[in-house]
Structure formats: C-alpha cells, structure tokens
Homo-oligomer: A and B are copies of this chain.
Amino acid sequence: MSLRIALLGLLTTSGPSSGYDLAKRFESSINHAWQARHSQIYPELNKMAADGLVTVEEEGPRGRKTYTIAAEGRRELREWLLEGTPSRSIRSEGALRAFLLPTLEPHEAAARLRAEAEVYTARLAELEALKAAKASWKRPGFGEHALELGIRQTRVVRDWAEETAAEIERAAGDPPGGE
C-alpha cells in the first residue's frame, strides 16, 4: 500500500509525471523514506489507473505516459494521512549495521563506525546541496520540511557514529572493570 501512497504523494507535490520521472524522484526527494524501482512503479501505475486513482492525460514521444492524480486518488492519499493507526514499521539496513557493529573487536568497530560517519557526512553534503537548489517543487515550501527531516536524521546518525567510535576506543584503551 505504501508504494501507492508514495506515488500519489509525488504526483501531488510534483504535478503530472511519467513513471520514469517518478522513478527518478524516488532517488532524489523521497529517498530517505522510501525506495522503488521502475519495475515496481510501472505495473503499479497501471493498476492505479485501472482503479481510477490516476489518469493518463497525455502520451509523449517514446511511449511516454503522463499520469495525473484523480479525485479518487486525492481522496485515498488524504484518508491514509488522516487515518488514526499509523504503523511505525521501519527497516533500515544502516541502523541494523550500527546496531551490530559493536559485536566486532573494539578497534575494528571504531574504524568501521568512522567510515560510516564519513558516508553520512557525504550524504549530508548532498542533502544540503539539494536544499540550496530547492527550486523543483510545485508547492512552494513543501519539499523543505521533508528535506530538513532528512538532514537532521542523517546528522544524528553521523554524530552518533563518531561519538560511539570515540567511546569504544576510550573504553578499550582504559578498561574500567576488566574483560
């Protein structure tokens, strides 16, 4: 269901788009919350059109189909957003990695955590750049909020990784009780 919602959301915030456009947008704007490949997006858009959530308003050059959100689609997105029981499901490979890194030897864990921190620093730079070039959304002011969340979350993981690396090294070099 979430893929449907994500697509409806993107069609709302970016206006009429092709499946190709939406696939790219999954990589840029919404990437820190959800991902989908074109092989999942195209069939889903067809189903959504069959269900009356979107319409194909025009067909362009290379068989390009431009999808527009329909009233029924707006209704469905709205209902999902207002619905009371939000499932808090989350699957983050990065967080899992972070969780398990301390099972390595202290010096290995610390080194790896610092490498992770670097990846997040790079990601952060990308996001900051995106923020600076914030001209790509139809509703002005919309993307900024989401981007801000992405930036803060990335920063928090980065900082955690650095601090944890330092603490692990400190604990290994200066064992308080033993082990």
Contact = CB atoms under 8 A, between A and B. Distances in A.
Chain A interface size band reads: 35 or more
Contact of A145 (B102, B123, B140, B152): B102
B153 A112 contact: no
A34 B91 contact: yes
A60 interface: no
A146 B99 contact: yes
A116 interface: yes
- Copies in the assembly, this chain: 2
Interface string A149-170: 1001100110110001001100
Interface string A92-119: 1111111111111000100010001001
A132 interface: no
A86 B93 contact: yes
Given A34-B91, A95-B33, A9 B100 contact: yes
Interface string A5-30: 11001001100000000000000001
Interface of A: 2, 5-6, 9, 12-13, 30, 32-35, 77-78, 81-82, 86-104, 108, 112, 116, 119, 123, 139-142, 145-146, 148-149, 152-153, 156-157, 159-160, 164, 167-168, 171, 179
Given A82-B112, A88-B94, 18 more contacts: A2-B91, A9-B99, A12-B100, A12-B103, A30-B96, A33-B98, A33-B99, A77-B103, A81-B103, A90-B95, A98-B149, A99-B149, A102-B139, A102-B142, A102-B146, A148-B160, A149-B156, A152-B156
